[in-house]
């Protein structure tokens, strides 16, 4: 009955790079679940080395496994698979290339590296016949890359949209709930351990942009790098933005959006962007709070799919790494190979200025006749079509909220610049993209 254990083989020997939050969990699970993993792989998994910066800081793992020489570890003849949870681009990139060139399969959680150098890594893996798996690089434990790479391999993915950064989602959820401003909420997030000491990678959208590049590459069979992603962070989101959103039954989320778009002449391209956006409170992503992640995938035949779960954390990330490790080890045991790079479509990446989205613009204006007509004329002149308007008087001035139909980024920016200069416009309170509604 138990087919897997009948074919025992030499154990698969694993080198681990990094032993922080995620690495510690990997070591724990490798030990605690050794019997299960052996049965699932068809052979044991043996940890033969752990590269760390300061060995004396890791008293909870066997001392004889520790080394500071990652470069030597990754090409050691007794290593079959390299698991990397250090992060960062250099020197990690060189170590993983050396491992792949030496025929070691690689499992990595490194989104920044994948988003910049996936092509180079895949090329090395292709030459040596090694596997390259990276499920943990996006959305923690949520199985997302394997579904994109494999389950939907017979379909045409048109859109991927989701919340892929837990820190910013925690901050935006808290701002929505408390009405507090960005800075004080970031401070609170840092105090609670939800934001790093240097939160730049998260709050400026770099982390989400890396993940968006990885998702777009897989979804559209095209090499997309982090530099191709239009990126706006959350540091400019104000409590006024949230108040404006709330007034219209919306909330604000940092979204990663990857789209396949078709020009009038039929030419397909890919648009990838990360920015805060208002979404209706009824949208499933609106209910994704705190450090959770959720991603929508739309495909022509499958329709709309959603994946939800913890987007980070030691144990969830370790779960994703171990799932990949089992796959890689099983390929070694039974003699197979995981999916390789699929970049055949090679679609052009479209700049954000050409992308069309809807906008929510909130203005403080003088409360007198002709104001709406003048503002509307500016929109008309830039060919930005207005979908909804709401004006409310307040003492001497009025709040004017305009929601547009889908409009090019550039046209909207020019319109807002012009509107801001109108004499009776006191303040542009909030300009925010709108997603998750019919355009």
- Rounded to whole angstroms, how far apart are CA atoms 92 and 121? 11
- Rounded to whole angstroms, how far apart are CA atoms 158 and 391? 37
Q: Which position among 89, 315, 372, 410 is part of the footprint of its own copies (CB under 8 A)?
A: 315
- Rounded to whole angstroms, how far apart are CA atoms 167 and 232? 15
Residues 6 or more apart whose CB falls under 8 angstroms from that of 379 comprise 385, 386, 402, 404, 415, 419
> Nearest CA to 401 among 364, 366, 427?
364
Q: How far is the CB of 237 from its own copies (least distance, A)?
A: 26
Stretch that binds its own copies, among 246-254, 322-330, 384-392, 406-414 (CB under 8 A): 322-330
Residues 6 or more apart whose CB falls under 8 angstroms from that of 187 comprise none
Is there binding between residue 287 and its own copies (CB under 8 A)?
A: yes
Q: Return the active site residues.
A: 211
Judged by CB under 8 A, the chain residues 17 through 56 that form the site for its own copies are: 25, 29, 33, 36-37, 39-40
Stretch that binds its own copies, among 61-69, 234-242, 254-262, 316-324 (CB under 8 A): 316-324
Cβ(185)–Cβ(173) below 8 Å: no
- Rounded to whole angstroms, how far apart are CA atoms 4 and 427? 67
- Rounded to whole angstroms, how far apart are CA atoms 349 and 287? 31
SS3 for 70?
A: helix
For residue 259, list its beta bridge partners.
Answer: 159, 271
Judged by CB under 8 A, the chain residues 118 through 147 that form the site for its own copies are: 119, 122, 126, 135, 140-143, 146-147
What Cα–Cα distance (Å) separates residue 139 from each residue in 84, 97, 200? Answer: 17, 24, 19
Q: Which is nearer to its own copies, 343 or 372 (CB)?
A: 343
For residue 272, list its beta bridge partners.
Answer: 258
Q: Which position among 286, 318, 398, 400 is part of the footprint of its own copies (CB under 8 A)?
A: 318
Judged by CB under 8 A, the chain residues 193 through 222 that form the site for its own copies are: 221
Q: Which residues of 387-409 are buried (b: 16+ CB within 10 A; e: fewer)?
A: beeeeeeeeebbbbbbbbeebbb
For every residue of 227-284, which 3-state class applies, written as one string? Answer: HHCEECCCCCCCHHHHHHHHHCCEEEEEEEEEEEEECCCCCEEEEEEEEEEEEECCCH
Q: Which is nearer to its own copies, 344 or 373 (CB)?
A: 344
Q: How far is the CB of 419 from its own copies (least distance, A)?
A: 38
Q: Helices 182-191 and 166-178 meet at what angle, rounded to 10?
A: 120
Q: Which is nearer to its own copies, 11 or 143 (CB)?
A: 143
Judged by CB under 8 A, the chain residues 323 through 382 that form the site for its own copies are: 323-327, 330-331, 334-337, 339-346
* Size of the residue set binding its own copies (CB under 8 A): 72
Q: Which is nearer to its own copies, 87 or 147 (CB)?
A: 147
Q: Which is nearer to its own copies, 233 or 310 (CB)?
A: 310
- Rounded to whole angstroms, how far apart are CA atoms 171 and 30? 34
Q: Which is nearer to its own copies, 247 or 334 (CB)?
A: 334
Q: How far is the CB of 313 from its own copies (least distance, A)?
A: 8
Judged by CB under 8 A, the chain residues 150 through 179 that form the site for its own copies are: 150-156
Q: Which is nearer to its own copies, 113 or 141 (CB)?
A: 141
Q: How far is the CB of 343 from its own copies (least distance, A)?
A: 6
Q: How far is the CB of 355 from its own copies (least distance, A)?
A: 24
Taken in order 297, 302, 308, 314, is the CA torsion positive or negative?
A: negative
Q: How far is the CB of 172 from its own copies (least distance, A)?
A: 20
Q: How far is the CB of 72 from its own copies (least distance, A)?
A: 27
Judged by CB under 8 A, the chain residues 289 through 308 that form the site for its own copies are: 299-308
């Amino acid at each position: 009955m138990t087919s897997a254990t009948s074919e025992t083989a030499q154990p698969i020997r694993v080198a681990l790079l990094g032993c922080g939050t995620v690495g510690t969990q990997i070591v724990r699970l490798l030990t605690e679940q050794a019997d299960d993993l052996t049965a699932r792989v068809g052979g044991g998994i043996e940890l033969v080395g752990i590269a760390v910066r300061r060995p004396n800081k890791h008293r909870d793992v066997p001392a004889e496994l520790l080394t500071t020489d990652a470069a030597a570890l990754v090409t050691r003849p007794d290593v079959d698979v390299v698991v990397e949870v250090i992060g960062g681009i250099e020197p990690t990139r060189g170590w993983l290339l050396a491992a792949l060139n030496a025929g070691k399969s690689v499992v990595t959680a490194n989104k920044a590296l994948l988003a910049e150098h996936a092509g180079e890594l895949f090329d090395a893996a292709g030459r040596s016949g090694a596997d390259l798996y990276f499920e943990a690089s996006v959305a923690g434990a949520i199985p997302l890359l394997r579904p994109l790479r494999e389950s939907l391999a017979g379909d045409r993915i048109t859109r991927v949209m989701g919340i892929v950064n837990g820190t910013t989602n925690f901050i935006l959820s808290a701002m929505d709930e408390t009405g507090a401003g960005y800075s004080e909420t970031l401070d609170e997030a840092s105090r609670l351990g939800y934001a790093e000491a240097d939160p730049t990678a998260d709050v400026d959208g770099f982390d989400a942009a890396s993940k968006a590049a990885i998702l777009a590459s897989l979804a559209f069979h095209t090499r997309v790098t982090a530099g191709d992603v239009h990126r706006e962070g959350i540091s400019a989101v104000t409590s006024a933005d949230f108040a404006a959103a709330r007034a219209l039954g919306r909330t604000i989320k940092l979204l990663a959006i990857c789209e396949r778009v078709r020009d009038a002449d039929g030419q397909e391209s890919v648009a990838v962007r990360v920015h805060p956006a208002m979404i209706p409170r009824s949208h499933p992503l609106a209910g994704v709070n705190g450090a959770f992640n959720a991603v929508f995938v739309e495909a022509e035949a499958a329709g709309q799919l959603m994946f939800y779960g913890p987007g980070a954390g030691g144990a969830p990330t370790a779960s994703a790494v171990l799932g990949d490790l089992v796959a890689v080890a099983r390929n070694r045991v039974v003699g197979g190979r995981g999916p390789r790079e699929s970049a055949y479509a090679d679609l052009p990446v479209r700049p954000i200025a050409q992308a069309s989205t809807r906008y929510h613009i909130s203005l403080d204006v003088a409360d007198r006749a002709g104001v709406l007509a003048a503002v509307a004329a500016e929109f008309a002149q830039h060919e930005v079509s207005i979908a909804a308007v709401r004006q409310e008087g307040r003492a001497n001035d009025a709040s004017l909220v305009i929601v547009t139909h889908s409009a090019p980024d550039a046209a909207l920016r020019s319109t807002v610049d012009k509107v801001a200069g109108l004499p009776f416009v006191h303040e542009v309170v909030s300009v925010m993209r709108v997603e998750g509604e019919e355009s």
